[in-house]
Amino acid sequence: MVLLFAFCCGAIAANLYYTQPIIGLIAPDVGLSPALASLIVSLTQVGYALGLFFLVPLGDLLENRRLMIATNLVAIASLLGAALAEQPNLFLVVSLLIGFSSVSVQILVPLAAALTPAELRGRVVGNIMSGLLLGILLARPVSSLVADHFGWRAMFMIAAALMLAISLLVLRAVPKYQPQHTASYGQLLRSLGALLRQPVLRQRAFYQGCLFATFSLFWTAAPLELIRNHGLSQSEVAIFALVGAIGAVAAPIAGRLADAGHTYRASLLAMLFAALSFLPALVHPLYSVIGLAVTGVALDFCVQMNMVLGQRAIYSLDANSRSRLNALYMTSLFTGGALGSAIASSLFEHFGWAGVMAVGMALPLVALLRLLSATRQTAANPA
């Protein structure tokens, strides 16, 4: 069942990242300028954040399997719309809907936590997240290869077919789960404010929002740098992105560290090395592509580790509110990701890779300073 959940999560989450390495192909085809190209990625992430906030809380109210299938059907329609879109505004709208309807992955993860004993929860969530993260990381090389050989529209057709297969798999294999809540949808949304007052949730959401902004900034700008300044083709960019998938091994490691009580130290190291991961890009120009690859692997590792550490922490707050806690956490994460994606192409156009590096290093350092500040406050006021 863990393997099944991991596969479904990876396949669904991949919808958010197919466009990331191929915005340079999509934008001119649908009539978007180079400076606005990264809006394609950022609007997908904005849509995902909206879906997290408005749809995922329903996981604490409605039968989970039925809710997942309903959102998957909307995703299929949205992916087909992207494949057929000819106008920039229409493509941006369906990009938003792709993100909005891909949130069933964040219903699966809390469901797995609910079905798992507490002493194994970090390990199981980490293993499932490794599948999710592998889907995210493999989406980039797959879309580059497909776009290079069959055109970018074929990628959306393939993604729609995959989502149909996932829907059938969920229908047949995922167990039904009816939450115990009897509150209305409005009451669930209003309860989000009370949950957000929990310091652990706010802190972990801020940390991961900063790191995911860096993650999205790097992976939106890196293909532009590789194609324009290093002469790589889309297929070669696919190989580069495939190297970054090595970072997915961080998820199960993070789950075991969290279960063993090492959340603070692991978080500190993840934030520090996320900032330092940009330094290999400063090597001699002859080796700069290798330096960028090292940055991609190290950054992915740090971001994925910190995400699982945060999920393990928030799932321990309230067993009856896991879907809503996860919704708030992931909304903050993808809000940061949308910000990173939105500024990527403009930052690259105006300041080059040096500008991307400066912002990419600064965001994890802001998270690190917040972690150290929160630790000092706790030490000074031990409640």
Kindly report, residue by residue over 28-84, the tens digit of the pLDDT: 999 988 878 888 988 998 898 898 888 888 887 888 888 999 999 999 999 999 999
The overall pTM is greater than 0.85: no
The pLDDT value recorded for residue 383 is: 43
Q: Which of 53-62, 144-153, 269-278, 293-302 has the lowest mean pLDDT?
A: 53-62
The pLDDT value recorded for residue 378 is: 61
Angle at which helix 121-150 crosses helix 234-244, to 10 degrees, equals 170
The pLDDT value recorded for residue 55 is: 87
The pLDDT value recorded for residue 28 is: 92
Q: Are 211 and 302 in contact (CB under 8 A)?
A: yes
> Over the Cα atoms of the chain, what is R_g?
20
Q: What are phi and psi of 262, to 5 degrees?
A: -105, 30
Question: What's the rounded mean pLDDT across residues 333-342?
Answer: 87
Assess if residue 151 is contained within a domain: yes
Assess if residue 382 is contained within a domain: no
Number of independent structural domains in the chain: 1
pLDDT surpasses 90 at 195: no
Give the model's confidence band at 90: pLDDT under 50 very low, under 70 low, under 90 confident, else very high: very high
Domain enclosing residue 90, as ranges: 2-173+185-372
Assess if residue 200 is contained within a domain: yes
Assess if residue 93 is contained within a domain: yes
| Distance from the Cα of residue 239 to its chain's centroid | 20
Assess if residue 380 is contained within a domain: no
Structure tokens at 219: 């992976």
Assess if residue 137 is contained within a domain: yes
pLDDT tens per residue across span 277-299: 998 877 756 568 888 988 988 88
Higher model confidence: residue 214 or residue 121? 214
Give the model's confidence band at 272: pLDDT under 50 very low, under 70 low, under 90 confident, else very high: very high
CATH number of the domain encompassing residue 143: 1.20.1250.20
Assess if residue 179 is contained within a domain: no
Q: Are 304 and 248 in contact (CB under 8 A)?
A: yes
**Residue 17 to residue 294: CA distance in whole angstroms:** 20
Assess if residue 348 is contained within a domain: yes
Q: Are 191 and 324 in contact (CB under 8 A)?
A: yes
Question: Within 10 Å of residue 262's Cβ, how many Cβ atoms?
Answer: 14
